[in-house]
């Protein structure tokens, strides 16, 4: 669809105003929010990632693209999150220490909220003990960790180890995700689950909590 291609192209150009306007148009035209997200915003960000990797564009371009992504995401958020659903469980969510990438983590939070979970979002660059302390304080049953850098992935293990050391494994389950993370890696560090994206995160967490 042309409109979604326009969203993707303008996101790649980092034009947040255009992305917001086009996302608004797509919503008004009743394009399903998930399609706007996948075929417009995420499609655009995928190209940005490839161009950045190939050194065709540079960090400031990626920052502008991220700003444009949020301009669209903020409009989609209320449509992806259904209000007034009784909470089915509490999830503490954050990007691990050293990692400032938060778009994927926020998307996972939106999907989980949409499925009725209560989200305690700790933001990005979250030290291991903050994850565990917050989960205990909030009586959360799941800690979700995001990492986009191969250099920060190992901080996920610190959280998993801390949950073990404090004897919390019966109460708190861990799930990991982010572009460089795999289910093999999750197994290696002893995390309870891995999910590829927000939708599968909902399924995996429901399984972990025995809700499905």
Q: What gap in Å lies between CA 91 and CA 198, rounded to an integer?
A: 13
Q: Which residue from 22, 92, 108, 140 is in contact with ligand B12, where contact means CB under 6 A?
A: 108
Select the span of 51-59, 81-89, 163-171, 184-192 touching ligand B12 (CB under 6 A).
51-59
Quote the least distance from Cβ 181 to ligand B12, whole Å.
7
**DSSP3 helix / strand / coil % (the chain, rounded to 5):** 55, 10, 30
Letters for 117-146 (x = contact with ligand B12 by CB under 6 A, - = none) are: ---------------------------xxx
163 φ/ψ angles, rounded to the nearest 5 degrees? -60, -40
Site for ligand B12 in 1-40 (CB under 6 A): none
* Nearer CB in complex with ligand B12: 22/145: 145
Size of the site for ligand B12 (CB under 6 A): 37
**What is the smallest separation between the CB atom of 86 and ligand B12, expressed in angstroms?**
22
Quick one: how far is CA 20 from the chain centroid?
20
Residue 105 or 157: the one with the smaller Cβ distance to ligand B12 is 105
Strands, DSSP E only, in 1-100? 89-95
CA 93 – CA 43 distance, rounded (Å): 24
CB 147 within 8 A of CB 95: yes
Piece in contact with ligand B12 (CB under 6 A), picked from 27-35, 115-123, 129-137, 172-180: 172-180
Query: In which residue are the tokens 């086009």 written?
Result: 22
Residue 52 in the binding site for ligand B12 (CB under 6 A): yes
- 78 or 123, CB closer to ligand B12? 123
The Cα–Cα gap between 23 and 13 comes to: 15
């Amino acid at each position: 669809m042309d409109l979604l291609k326009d969203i993707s192209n303008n996101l790649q150009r980092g034009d947040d105003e255009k992305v917001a306007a086009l996302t608004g148009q797509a919503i008004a035209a009743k394009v399903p929010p998930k399609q706007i997200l996948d075929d417009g915003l995420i499609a655009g960000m995928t190209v940005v990632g490839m161009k950045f990797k190939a050194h065709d564009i540079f960090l400031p371009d990626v920052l502008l693209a991220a700003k444009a992504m949020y301009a669209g995401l903020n409009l989609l958020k209320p449509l992806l999150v259904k209000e007034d659903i009784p909470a089915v469980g509490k999830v503490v969510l954050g990007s691990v220490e050293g990692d400032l990438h938060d778009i994927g983590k926020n998307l996972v939070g939106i999907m989980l909220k949409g499925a009725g979970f209560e989200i305690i979002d700790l933001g990005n660059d979250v030290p291991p003990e903050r994850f565990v302390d917050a989960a205990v304080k909030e009586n959360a049953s799941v800690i979700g960790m995001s990492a986009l850098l191969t250099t920060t992935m190992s901080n996920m293990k610190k959280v998993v180890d801390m949950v073990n050391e404090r004897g919390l494994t019966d109460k708190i389950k861990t799930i990991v995700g982010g572009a460089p993370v795999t289910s093999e890696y999750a197994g290696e560090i002893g995390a309870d689950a891995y999910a590829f994206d927000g939708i599968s995160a909902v399924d995996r967490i429901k399984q972990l909590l025995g809700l499905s």
